[in-house]
Amino acid sequence: MAKFLEKNWKKADLLSMIGDPLQVAGVRAFQYTEGKASGVKGIQVNTGGGFQFVVLPGRGMDIPEAYYKGVNLNFFSGTGVTSPAYYEEPDLGWLRGFYAGLLTTCGITNSGAPSVDQGEALGIHGRVSNSEAEDLCIEQEWQDDEFLITLKGTVRESKPFFENMRLTRKIETGLGWKKFRITDFIENRGFEAQPLMMLYHFNFGFPFLSPGAKVVGPIIKTEPSNEEAEKDRGVEECLEFIKPQTSYQEKVFFHELGADKDGNTFISLQNRDIGNGVPLGMIMSFNKKQLPMFTEWKMMKKGLYVLGLEPGTALPVGRGPLREMGKLMFLEGQESYTITLNFEIVDSLKEFDRIQKMASSLTSKK
């Protein structure tokens, strides 16, 4: 049954109260008209359960904004949303269009640090987020007594004589939901193996992220990515957060997560008081067989106060170094790869405690 205003509804009973489902939940397609965002297509999603977010078909089906009961969840950088027309690939040029948002997808064949791979200079985090989706489909329909919302679009990454890759993303939510599900179907439409380097760059910001917030998950082992991450009790305090600092330097950590026998695992960000006495958290669940690596990006700098929680198929050290280490994952010609990721809001201390017990359970199974 559909849930609205803390009440379960049958389809007929709810429709008797409204003229259109948009009164309680639904989507609105729009297009940016100003500045560097001009022309970018977007879709605003309202679940009617207090959860609202925006999807950008004009930027790889990524998610720039997300709110729960009016409270912002994500970090939003000073670039604002930018059109792919402003994409700069070499070195760190990608950052000029990194609005961050709730989700920036990195890939398909490259993610992580700039590198040189087999003579090819690669920029940071790949091209997929700066590609416009095609075959866009929006469905809003009743299935029995549930009102479901599905968005779908396909992004190409192709270069003659090189890769011919497709990513088809499906985002599912529904009336009363405090969650969404992302399913990415990745195809190698060529006939030669290609690198597969997907990184799901989730970025959390104020007021959800603030001193007192904490990362909770079945973390078995943590490795600092560099000397900066080792400084000032970096590893010991990597799951906790401080006030913004003037000279803070980013710290990156690689976490090994425990999982159940089927490979299912999760990570959670919890804040017991976002400033008004209200708890707010999220849990992001996925499968380690699909996304075996997990990265934390911690940046506590003034004006750049953000936490990145990033499951991926590879560590973000660059494609060249991964190939040299023999750790580069490939998708064979004419083969496909599916990734499913669930994102859900949690808003009670009881749920926080339940998640902590889940983390302890998965950690003890190692």
CB of 50 closer than 8 Å to CB of 66: no
pLDDT for the residue numbered 259: 97
- Residues whose CB falls within 8 Å of the CB of residue 287, separated by 6 or more in sequence, listed in order: 259, 262, 263, 264, 265, 340
DSSP E strand stretches across 144-193: 146-158, 164-174, 179-188
**CA 254 → CA 121, 152, 289, distances in Å?**
25, 31, 17
Question: Can you tell me the distance from the alpha carbon of 71 to that of 259, in angstroms, rounded to the nearest whole number?
Answer: 31
Residues recorded for the chain: 366
With respect to residue 132, please indicate whether it lies within any of the assigned structural domains: yes
Q: Is residue 13 assigned to a domain? A: no
> How many structural domains comprise the chain?
1
**pLDDT computed for residue 365 by the predictor:** 56
9 inside domain: no
Specify whether the CB–CB gap between 345 and 268 falls below 8 A: no
15 domain residue, yes or no: no
pLDDT in tens, the chain (366 residues): 889 998 999 999 999 999 999 999 999 999 999 999 999 999 999 999 999 999 999 999 999 999 999 999 999 999 999 999 999 988 999 999 999 999 999 999 999 999 999 999 999 999 999 999 999 999 999 999 999 999 999 999 999 999 999 999 999 999 999 999 999 999 999 999 999 999 999 999 999 999 999 999 999 999 999 888 988 788 999 999 999 999 999 999 999 999 999 999 999 999 999 998 899 999 999 999 999 999 999 999 999 999 999 999 999 999 999 999 999 999 999 999 999 999 999 999 999 999 999 999 999 754
pLDDT at position 246 is 96
Q: What is the pTM of this model?
A: 0.97
Say if residues 171 and 61 touch (Cβ distance below 8 Å): yes
Task: State which residues form the domain around 119.
Answer: 20-364
Is 179 a domain residue? yes
Domain assignment present for 201: yes
* Single-letter code of the amino acid located at 226: N
For residue 4, being part of any structural domain is answered with: no
What's the CATH number where 287 sits? 2.70.98.10
The CA-based angle 203-207-208, given to 5 degrees, is 55
